[in-house]
């Protein structure tokens, strides 16, 4: 069964460093998403991406964040200068379309900023 894959599964980084989280969405899906879940808290929407541009973004997704689809398969989330409060589980998801189709989630990347 097709699945969304994310790498790495766990990343530890120093505060102020740049990190890139990688995702390979399901191949025929057109919408891609990033969510984050701070430990013990709710799943928060960061950004959606469609047709090679950001479709929607939340207030969390500030100038420190960016997304990119560098080739036909990968979808990346970059955090330019990490802060302690960026420590969270980051989930990538994809859907065939937007509304009316479910999103499939990857296993997540646990980001720890020290």
Partner 1 sequence: AQSVSQHNHHVILSEAASLELGCNYSYGGTVNLFWYVQYPGQHLQLLLKYFSGDPLVKGIKGFEAEFIKSKFSFNLRKPSVQWSDTAEYFCAVYSSASKIIFGSGTRLSIRP
Residues that bind partner 1 (CB under 8 A): 31, 33, 35, 41-45, 48, 50, 55-56, 91, 93, 98-100, 102-108
Task: Provide, rounded to whole angstroms, the least separation between the CB of residue 103 and partner 1.
Answer: 6
86: nearest Cα among 113, 48, 106, 68: 113
How, if at all, do strands 10-13 and 109-113 pair? parallel
End-to-end CA distance of the chain: 36
Residue 36 or residue 86: which is nearer to partner 1 going by CB? 36
Residue 14 or residue 53: which is nearer to partner 1 going by CB? 53
């Amino acid at each position: 069964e097709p699945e969304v894959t994310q790498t790495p599964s766990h990343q530890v980084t120093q505060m102020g460093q740049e990190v890139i989280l990688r995702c390979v969405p399901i191949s025929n899906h057109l919408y891609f998403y990033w969510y984050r879940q701070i430990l013990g808290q709710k799943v928060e929407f960061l950004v959606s991406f469609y047709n090679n541009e950001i479709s929607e973004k939340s207030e969390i997704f500030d100038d420190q964040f960016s997304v990119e689809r560098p080739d036909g398969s990968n979808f990346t989330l970059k955090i330019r200068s990490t802060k302690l409060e960026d420590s969270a589980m980051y989930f990538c998801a994809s859907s065939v379309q937007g509304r009316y189709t479910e999103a499939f989630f990857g296993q997540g990347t646990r980001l720890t900023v020290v």
